[in-house]
Amino acid sequence: MSQTHNGKMALSATGLGKSYKIGKVKQAVLKGVDFSAYHGQVTMVMGPSGSGKSTLIAALSGLMKPDEGEVIALGENLWKKKRGKIDKFRLDHCGFIFQGFNLFPALNATQQVEQVLKYQKVSHSEAHRRAVEVLEAVSLGHRLKQKPSELSGGEKQRVAIARALSKMPSLIFADEPTSALDSVSGQVVIKLLHQAAKERGAAVVVVTHDPRLEAYADRVIHMEDGKILSDNMVSEPPVLA
């Protein structure tokens, strides 16, 4: 992946539908959503609580099968794949940054990143080198040996980002990545996501209520009640592939 991919379609979903059943009541959470995201762009998804934003991300990233519709991710029909292949696709191509960090309590910052690279069959020495490099890039060079319990919320979120970025994923999904952070840490996180799009051509999809992110978004999508209400390109329209 490189800047030459910028502007090309990375993700395209059509007619996504999803309902949850609570007792006997069926609640439609996604109601025929069409969605696209491009390499080199930050796409921001906003909307009130319960409007279906997290469910949309889950359907786009292979985490939750929609009831209806299809997702073409990096040219592949995601939900037509077998379960194991979907897991492999996620491992190879997707980086996730969710609320709550999801760090392993027993591992230090370097090991958190190495662990992910190990799954990708990167050798130990190369994984170590890349882990240190990416942690330094998020200004955690002085926290390499600290475990999550010894890190602040902002530092933990940066470890989670370093872990997601270390794989150099083509698709990055972030769900409220700045919600637990003070304004300085939040700004750092936003800039890192922006950088991943602009410098590496990642397609970054960010669910957020954080208005600070809007300044870094190429596109802002508003969801309400399982539907997309508006979809505004902030920057130049992409060159279609």
Ligand X SMILES: Nc1ncnc2c1ncn2[C@@H]1O[C@H](COP(=O)(O)OP(=O)(O)OP(=O)(O)O)[C@@H](O)[C@H]1O
Chain residues that interact with ligand X, rule: CB under 6 A: 20, 22, 29, 47, 49-55
Maximum separation of any 2 CA atoms in the chain, in Å: 54
Toward ligand X, which CB reaches closer, 111 or 179? 179
Q: Report in angstroms how near the CB of residue 164 gets to ligand X at its nearest.
A: 19
CB of 52 to ligand X, least distance (A): 4
Strand ranges across the sheet with 68-73: 25-38, 9-22, 68-73, 76-77
| Shortest Å, Cβ 28 to ligand X | 9
CB 99 → ligand X: shortest distance, Å?
8
Instruction: Please state, in angstroms and rounded to a whole number, the distance separating the CA atoms of residues 120 and 98.
Output: 21
100: alpha, beta or left? (left if phi > 0; alpha if psi -120 to 50): left
- Nearest 5°: phi and psi at 160? -60, -40
Q: Which is nearer to ligand X, 54 or 61 (CB)?
A: 54
Task: Closer to ligand X by CB, 20 or 104: give it.
Answer: 20
Pseudo-torsion of CA 72, 76, 80, 86, nearest 10°? -100
